[in-house]
Amino acid sequence: MSRAFNFSAGPATLPEPVLLQAQSEMLDWHGVGASIVELSHRGPEFMGIAAEAEADLRRLVGIPDDYAVLFMQGGATTQQALIALNFANPRQVADYVISGHWGKTAIKQVKPYLDARVAATGEAGGFRGIPARASWQLSDDAAYVHVTANETIHGVEFRDVPDVGAVPLFADFSSSIASEPIDVSKYGLIYAGAQKNLGPVGISVVIVRRDLLDRAGQPRADIFDYRSHLKGESMLNTPPTWNWYLAGLVFKWMLAEGGVQEFAVRNARKSALLYSTIDGSGGFYRNEVDPAVRSRMNVPFFLHDEALDKPFLKEAAAAQLISLKGHRALGGMRASIYNAMPVEGVQALTAFMQDFQNRHG
Amino acid sequence: MSRAFNFSAGPATLPEPVLLQAQSEMLDWHGVGASIVELSHRGPEFMGIAAEAEADLRRLVGIPDDYAVLFMQGGATTQQALIALNFANPRQVADYVISGHWGKTAIKQVKPYLDARVAATGEAGGFRGIPARASWQLSDDAAYVHVTANETIHGVEFRDVPDVGAVPLFADFSSSIASEPIDVSKYGLIYAGAQKNLGPVGISVVIVRRDLLDRAGQPRADIFDYRSHLKGESMLNTPPTWNWYLAGLVFKWMLAEGGVQEFAVRNARKSALLYSTIDGSGGFYRNEVDPAVRSRMNVPFFLHDEALDKPFLKEAAAAQLISLKGHRALGGMRASIYNAMPVEGVQALTAFMQDFQNRHG
């Protein structure tokens, strides 16, 4: 098969030029006689790649100098645990706003370490919206307020930055970082697994306001200490060099394409096309999320008749549209349309959806 | 440059057939229209790869059924912390035998969690030997005894399995797993970063006797719980799929080459050739490790005159022999000669060393 349009939620499609470059450099990186995956992380080749990746990410996302950037292993879930260990005293309060599956995962990780409180949750409404800011029950003495900027499974996204006063706002941006401009200075900490908008699986990014690193936190191993990772330039132990390298190639590709301003335009166009196709299908397809907070990245949708799910997936795959099966928690379909998904991919998907409806409607 | 012989300590050289296969599959894995790095870890493609990798590793290393196998992120250092959280009660004693740099790292990680005791250390002797078993101060009530099977920096290796009685023996096998047959049943737990003998950086292997997972351990986040990872088939969160895939290719390559029996023969031959070249140089080169515990994997050596270090490295690189600079903690040179380093690589290195001595001796 030639390259399909791959709507996987993550690990997700990568820019083809990035894959081609990684392919061409697989046995010999820049004439050194070895692959980058075979070279020491302490050598000049990889140290250069790492420094460039940080500089490029800072430019791409617009990260102020008073924020540190860490490249970490363990995925976003590990960061969910580490934020409690690094930024909260034992049993201190932390407030969680739950807008979907990943918010629930986030609060689960910290319960052994602090007094994790649900400040607001959209669960009663099936996570089809985000609780109004006025309804949030926040604590003045909280270590932080945690939100999930975009919920990958439920397809719900914050469209603005909530004001939480003096308490630092921590946000899981795994599935929407670099998809549009954000004001980093409004957050205390941002973390993201790279396998959606930033590149390959196996590496995560943490962006943290430097003054927060002065907090004592809780007893923890050195390998769980963000300060140690910062001091060690994210090489406290052997980092996932190939993943970091591939993420760096994706950063360069995004900058060359026009940066987050350009991707904001493309992502708005892609998601508008897909939602209008769903909404204009007369009920053949449906998305149940409050239109005000629909995700531009992950579009869950259902066919009006579940019996059509299997034919839909089979015919889509035959049309080189793959990884459309919804998460098992929701069923139905899901199209993830991150930065690396071209407009043409969504055009092909919506054309297929209309054709499928014509044939099965 | 064509492919060099790369003596990096890790990330380390990979088998060329593995890199060629990964290269050929980089844009389209088995005709699915996407790279394996772009596909869901929950999809049939990757689930198949993951299951095969575990089965192949079990066959390769000889892992009994009463041992669980986990594929983990975070490197060996993260496992060093997690073993305390999973297998020791708060403040329980654990005994550490320190035979080099990585043993010191291991004990550092657990100090916040338990009563970590140095049962024996070779530090006074510059880590040029392993303290005799009779000298170890072991505690009857220890949660475990920890050893580093092979010290990557100091080039010191256990040549037999120490008898520690009823207390489970935990071992860091990062740099010697699958280099020769081992009796897994003599260990409670074995962990290893993959980036030396098992494949790419960014993934680690944990082999643990299943009954030990019944221990309560300490309060910890779900993501730090080995039981949860086992229940989640090492996909508790998104695993580093590409790294896992590449490790799986390395496992298949090792099995096809003849398995650990064959690599034991090759590794004995390679290390004997290198040590005999050093020992036969009349003091031009020297390795200071007790011959009884010299590592077959990592061979640190020094030139008789430090002023020759730079010319040695420069001329070696010109002869396509790279990554020979010693770790900054020791200086000098280090040749890491893991499974993927062919005998021809060590022959080329020793020929160069003799030639260099002839020209500079």
Query: What chain B residue is nearest to A174 in terms of C-alpha separation?
Result: B238
Residue type, B272: A
Whether residue B235 is contained in a domain is answered as yes
Residue A2 burial (CB count, 10 A): 8
- A358 labelled as ligand-binding? no
- B86 labelled as ligand-binding? no
Which of A200, A246, A242 has the alpha carbon at shortest distance from A36?
A242
Q: Decide: helix, strand or coil at residue B156.
A: strand
Contacts of A122 (CB under 8 A, 6+ apart): A98, A99, A100, A128, A129, A130, A131, A156
Residues of B with active-site annotation: 102, 172, 196
Preceding amide of A342 cis, omega within 30: no
For the segment A155-174, the average pLDDT, to the nearest whole number, is 97
pLDDT tens track for B25-80: 999 999 999 999 999 999 999 999 999 999 999 999 999 999 999 999 999 999 99
Chain B residues touching residue A330 (CB < 8 angstroms): none
What is the rounded CA–CA span in Å between residue B317 and residue B247?
A: 28
Instruction: Please tell me the predicted confidence (pLDDT) of residue A231.
Output: 98
Q: Cβ B73–A74 below 8 Å, yes or no? A: yes
What is the rounded CA–CA span in Å between residue B151 and residue B109?
A: 17
Residue A203 shares a structural domain with residue A273: no
Cβ density class A335-353: b for 16+ within 10 Å, e for less: bbbbbbbbeebbebbbebb
Q: Is B339 on the interface with A (CB under 8 A)?
A: no
Q: Cβ A195–B75 below 8 Å, yes or no? A: no
- For testing the chain A interface, which of B32, B37, B241 should be mutated: the one with the most A CBs within 10 Å? B37
Largest CA distance in chain A: 62
Write out the residue range of the structural domain in which residue B86 sits: 17-256
Compute CA A198 distance to the chain's CA centroid, rounded to the nearest angstrom.
8
pLDDT surpasses 80 at B95:
yes
Residue type, B77: T
Chain A residues touching residue B39 (CB < 8 angstroms): 6, 8, 11, 323
To the nearest whole angstrom, how far is the Cα of B361 from the nearest Cα of chain A?
A: 29
Structure tokens at B289: 């490790």
To the nearest whole angstrom, how far is the Cα of B104 from the nearest Cα of chain A?
A: 13
Contacts of A283 (CB under 8 A, 6+ apart): A304
Whether residue B41 is contained in a domain is answered as yes
Residue A86 shares a structural domain with residue A226: yes
Share the mean pLDDT of chain A.
97
Query: What chain A residue is nearest to B25 in terms of C-alpha separation?
Result: A23
Instruction: Please tell me the predicted confidence (pLDDT) of residue A2.
Output: 83
pLDDT surpasses 90 at B302:
yes
Q: Is A80 on the interface with B (CB under 8 A)?
A: yes
Q: How many CB pairs under 8 A join A and B?
A: 219
pLDDT tens track for A257-279: 999 999 999 999 999 999 999 99
Q: Is A242 on the interface with B (CB under 8 A)?
A: yes
DSSP label of B244: H
To the nearest whole angstrom, how far is the Cα of B275 from the nearest Cα of chain A?
A: 23
What is the rounded CA–CA span in Å between residue B108 and residue B62?
A: 31
pLDDT surpasses 70 at A1:
no
- A136 labelled as ligand-binding? no
Signed CA dihedral, B342, B344, B346, B348: sign only: negative
For the segment B235-241, the average pLDDT, to the nearest whole number, is 96
Give the confidence band of B2 by pLDDT, cuts at 50, 70, 90.
Answer: confident
- CATH number (domain holding residue A83): 3.40.640.10
Task: Residue window 98-117, chain B: list those with CB within 8 Å of chain A.
Answer: 108-110, 112-113
Residue B236 shares a structural domain with residue B281: no
The minimal CB distance from B241 to the residues A27, A112, A201 is found for A201
The minimal CB distance from B74 to the residues A33, A73, A246 is found for A73
Give the confidence band of A319 by pLDDT, cuts at 50, 70, 90.
Answer: very high
Q: Decide: helix, strand or coil at residue B333.
A: strand
- CATH number (domain holding residue B322): 3.90.1150.10
Residue A252 shares a structural domain with residue A296: no
Decide if A169 contacts A160 (C-beta within 8 A): no
Residue A111 shares a structural domain with residue A252: yes
What is the rounded CA–CA span in Å between residue B155 and residue A283?
A: 68
pLDDT tens track for B122-137: 999 999 999 999 999 9
To the nearest whole angstrom, how far is the Cα of B262 from the nearest Cα of chain A?
A: 23
For the segment A193-211, the average pLDDT, to the nearest whole number, is 96
What is the rounded CA–CA span in Å between residue B27 and residue B228?
A: 33
The minimal CB distance from B33 to the residues A14, A39, A322 is found for A322
Residue A84 shares a structural domain with residue A220: yes
What is the rounded CA–CA span in Å between residue A84 and residue A68?
A: 18
To the nearest whole angstrom, how far is the Cα of A282 from the nearest Cα of chain B?
A: 31
Q: Cβ A223–B77 below 8 Å, yes or no? A: yes
Chain A residues touching residue B38 (CB < 8 angstroms): 6, 8, 11-14
For tokens 């360069």, the residue is: A252
Which residues on adjacent β-strands are paired with residue B200?
A: none
Residue B269 shares a structural domain with residue B124: no
Residue B156 shares a structural domain with residue B168: yes
Contacts of B279 (CB under 8 A, 6+ apart): B287
| Domain end marker among B193, B226, B256 | B256
Residue B68 shares a structural domain with residue B152: yes
- B102 labelled as ligand-binding? yes
pLDDT surpasses 90 at A338:
yes
Residue B20 burial (CB count, 10 A): 13
pLDDT surpasses 90 at A155:
yes
What is the rounded CA–CA span in Å between residue B58 and residue B64?
A: 8
Provide the number of structural domains found in chain B. 2
Instruction: Please tell me the predicted confidence (pLDDT) of residue A238.
Output: 96
**B342-346 long-range contacts, CB within 8 A, separation 24+:** B343/B266, B343/B269, B343/B270, B343/B273, B344/B5, B345/B5, B345/B7, B345/B13, B345/B270, B345/B321, B346/B270, B346/B273, B346/B274
Task: Residue window 59-78, chain B: list those with CB within 8 Å of chain A.
Answer: 73-78
Residue B110 shares a structural domain with residue B82: yes
Q: Cβ A221–B28 below 8 Å, yes or no? A: no
pLDDT tens track for A60-119: 999 999 999 999 999 999 999 999 999 999 999 999 999 999 999 999 999 999 999 999
Q: Is B138 on the interface with A (CB under 8 A)?
A: no
What is the rounded CA–CA span in Å between residue B186 and residue B176?
A: 16
Q: Cβ A81–B1 below 8 Å, yes or no? A: no
Query: What chain B residue is nearest to A76 in terms of C-alpha separation?
Result: B237
Chain A residues touching residue B193 (CB < 8 angstroms): 238
Q: Cβ A41–B1 below 8 Å, yes or no? A: no
Chain B residues touching residue A237 (CB < 8 angstroms): 75-78
Give the confidence band of B99 by pLDDT, cuts at 50, 70, 90.
Answer: very high
Bridge-based pairing of strands B204-209 and B189-193 is antiparallel
For the segment B244-250, the average pLDDT, to the nearest whole number, is 98
Preceding amide of B168 cis, omega within 30: no
For the segment A334-354, the average pLDDT, to the nearest whole number, is 98
Cβ density class B25-34: b for 16+ within 10 Å, e for less: bbbbbeebbb
Whether residue A186 is contained in a domain is answered as yes
Whether residue A156 is contained in a domain is answered as yes
Share the mean pLDDT of chain B.
97
Whether residue A2 is contained in a domain is answered as no
To the nearest whole angstrom, how far is the Cα of B333 from the nearest Cα of chain A?
A: 14
Residue A217 shares a structural domain with residue A309: no
In terms of C-beta density within 10 A (0-12 exposed, 13-18 middle, 19 or more buried), how is residue A310 classed? exposed
To the nearest whole angstrom, how far is the Cα of B134 from the nearest Cα of chain A?
A: 31
What is the rounded CA–CA span in Å between residue B206 and residue B229?
A: 11
Decide if B218 contacts B113 (C-beta within 8 A): yes
Whether residue B101 is contained in a domain is answered as yes
Instruction: Please tell me the predicted confidence (pLDDT) of residue B1.
Output: 53
pLDDT tens track for B171-213: 999 999 999 999 999 999 999 999 999 989 999 999 999 999 9
Q: Is A12 on the interface with B (CB under 8 A)?
A: yes
Whether residue B330 is contained in a domain is answered as yes
Instruction: Please tell me the predicted confidence (pLDDT) of residue B229.
Output: 98
| Domain end marker among B228, B256, B284 | B256
Q: Cβ A221–B110 below 8 Å, yes or no? A: yes
Q: Decide: helix, strand or coil at residue B286.
A: strand
Q: Cβ B221–A40 below 8 Å, yes or no? A: no
| Domain end marker among A192, A225, A256 | A256
Cα–Cα distances in angstroms (integers) from residue B36 to residues A93, B142, B247, in the given order = 41, 43, 13
Cβ density class A158-175: b for 16+ within 10 Å, e for less: beeebebeebbbbbbbbb
Whether residue B298 is contained in a domain is answered as yes
Run of H or E residues at B252: helix B241-257
Query: What chain A residue is nearest to B43 in terms of C-alpha separation?
Result: A323
Contacts of A208 (CB under 8 A, 6+ apart): A67, A68, A70, A188, A189, A190, A226
Chain A residues touching residue B9 (CB < 8 angstroms): 40
Q: Cβ B38–A8 below 8 Å, yes or no? A: yes
Residue B229 shares a structural domain with residue B265: no
